[in-house]
Structure 1
Amino acid sequence: MNSPFTTHGALSWHELTASDSERAMRFYGEIFGWSFKKMQLPQGPYHIIENDGISIGGITDSPAPAMPSNWTGYITVKDIDAVAIKAKELGGDILFGPEDIPQVGRFCWIKDPCGAIIAAITYSSPKA
């Protein structure tokens, strides 16, 4: 079976930027049985979502509390820089990045021509 962390075009990670990450973790933990591991990053705490011991996403506090909470999907790509260029050529906007995430990979946020936002990522050490 192909891993979503190594398959170009696969949805590999889900991230919630929340107005209240503690409340969100209680909610999703109760509904789905998820557990969370806290990591301290320079910009604040980041909570890894685990489902049956497998890391599937993360939850973080919004840097702009007035911004509505939202989920972002991360799509695995072979070359993040090439994808960012192609997205712009096709009428999209790059909202953030490409930028490195130490020990994870390189990513960017893309806004498509219709206004929807998604993230793309090239993992530096793909998970199996």
Structure 2
Amino acid sequence: MSDNTVTWFEVATDDPDGAERFYGGLFGWTFARDEGPMDYRLITGADGGAPAGGLYNSEGGFPPHAVFHVQVADVEKTCAQVESLGGEVQRMVIDDGAGTDFAYLRDPAGSLFGIFHRRG
């Protein structure tokens, strides 16, 4: 995967089981629990290819949302660039314990999106 490309999507909800039923029934997606420290479920499309997204239990920490994520070379540098262009960093995590740096950002109009970098 190359940098600066949308490579992941994510659905956040405080009812992950209900979201699985909804999206699974609607699109034929399947879900597998990730091994990480949070309730995160990898989403595989009806074609059965590699996971292309994730569903996570926000536990009320974020409003429910579906958002795209862009792979970047450097999360901290990209966050600084977002702010210099009039956007806002909502949350930045460097080293989530599973080898990924990520951030949730808002563009100048307030739209939420994410960035990430997998180390190693």
TM bracket (short chain) = 0.7 to 0.9
Residue 60 of structure 2: which of 46, 58, 64 is its match? 64
Q: Give the length in aligned residue pairs.
A: 118
Kindly tell me: are residues 111 and 86 of structure 1, through their superposed partners in 2, closer, same or farther at Cα, counting changes over 3 Å? same
One-letter amino acid of the structure 2 residue matched with residue 33 of structure 1? G
Give the alignment's Cα RMSD to 1 decimal: 1.9
Residue 23 of structure 2 aligns with which residue?
Answer: 28
After superposition, the C-alpha distances for 1:96-119 in whole angstroms (9 at most, x for unaligned) are 114222334211111111111111
Query: Would you say the 8 A contact 1:84–1:98 is kept in 2?
Result: no
SS in 1 for 2:53: strand
Percent identity over the alignment is 25
Residue 107 of structure 2: which of 98, 108, 112 is its match? 112
Q: Distance in 2 between matches of 1:68 and 1:124?
A: 28
Residue 3 of structure 1 aligns with which residue?
Answer: none
Unaligned runs of 5+ in 2: none
Residue 18 of structure 1 aligns with which residue?
Answer: 13
SS in 2 for 1:8: coil
Are residues 1:8 and 2:3 paired?
Answer: yes
More strand by share: 1
Residue 50 of structure 1: which of 13, 33, 44 is its match? 44
SS in 2 for 1:100: coil
Query: Would you say the 8 A contact 1:11–1:75 is kept in 2?
Result: yes
How many Å apart are 1:56 and its aligned residue?
0.9
What's the TM-score, normalizing by structure 2? Answer: 0.86
What's the TM-score, normalizing by structure 1? Answer: 0.81
SS in 2 for 1:102: coil
Unaligned runs of 5+ in 1: 1-5
Query: Would you say the 8 A contact 2:36–2:98 is kept in 1?
Result: no
Q: Distance in 1 between matches of 2:100 and 2:40?
A: 16
Residue 77 of structure 1 aligns with which residue?
Answer: 72
4+ aligned runs moved over 4 Å, structure 1: none
